[in-house]
Structure 1
Amino acid sequence: MTLERLTPGPRMSQAVCIGDIAFLAGQVPNDLAGDITAQTHEVLNKIDAVMAELGGSKADVASVQVWLADMADFQGMNAVWDAWVDPANPPARATGGMLLARQGMRVEMIVVARVPH
């Protein structure tokens, strides 16, 4: 099997595909001034954009790791998530709390997905 890299940069690629499995880089918000709902919307929009570039959609997402800087944001993140997720094709998901890379960042999501052929 070959590896294909989407938007490779000096530090990381936006996604790496092995066969029909895609591993997306952690998706984070650019606007760190927003609350959890704004940041979650931005991250989910980024996931949609990467999946579209791979030829797929959120229905192809198999697994998501959600990292929150503050677990008190769990309910707010879930409200946005529930409006976004495809109810016919919900991915496996885990959510945890941890210190994120930048001050003000409230959420990061890591996706594993199927790449349609």
Structure 2
Amino acid sequence: MKRIEPGSRLSKAVVANGFVYISGLTAREKVQDVAAQTTDILAQIDGYLAAAGTDKSRLVMCNIWLVDIGTFNTMNGAWEAWVDPKNPPARATVESRLGGQGNLVEISAIALAPTA
């Protein structure tokens, strides 16, 4: 097992049993709109996948939480510009109250780890 950026409460990502599990991520800049926050989070996911030795083409599942489901299409614009169209993961998107002031979207991901 490999922990990426472990902290006292959680690791940002964990590689275990052939998978990479990425914790729920929020944007670094909370003053941005949903599209910009989504783009920032997806860039973070790219970074954690790279740290684990894999990439978005190996995503299996993503979960997305939006403060306002009315921003679904805006979030999807950023998503569709990023996702590998030949290898889209399974995905769920729901409306939810999020912790932390200014968070409009949160995304977690599961990907296949690199093969040995």
Give the equivalent residue in structure 2 for 1:102.
Answer: 100
Any unmatched runs of 5+ in structure 1? none
Question: Cα deviation per residue 1:55-76 (whole Å; 9 max; x = unaligned)?
Answer: 1111011000000011111010
In structure 2, the partner of 1:66 is 64
TM-score, length of structure 1 as denominator length:
0.95
Query: Partners of 2:54 and 2:75 in 1: how far apart?
Result: 23
Q: Deviations over 1:45-95 (max 9, x none)?
A: 000000011111110110000000111110100011011110110000000
Superposition pairs for residues 43-62 of structure 1, below 5 Å? 43-62=41-60
- After superposition, the CA RMSD in angstroms is 0.8
Question: What is the aligned residue count?
Answer: 115
Q: Name the % identity.
A: 38
Q: Matches of residues 72-111 of structure 1 in structure 2 within 5 Å?
A: 72-111=70-109
Q: CA deviation at 1:4?
A: 2.2
Q: Which of 16-25 and 30-39 deviates more?
A: 16-25
Corresponding residue number in structure 1 for 2:32: 34
TM-score with structure 2 setting the length: 0.95
Deviating beyond 3 angstroms after TM superposition, the runs of 4 or more aligned structure 1 residues are none
Q: Structure 2 unaligned segments of length 5 or more: list them.
A: none
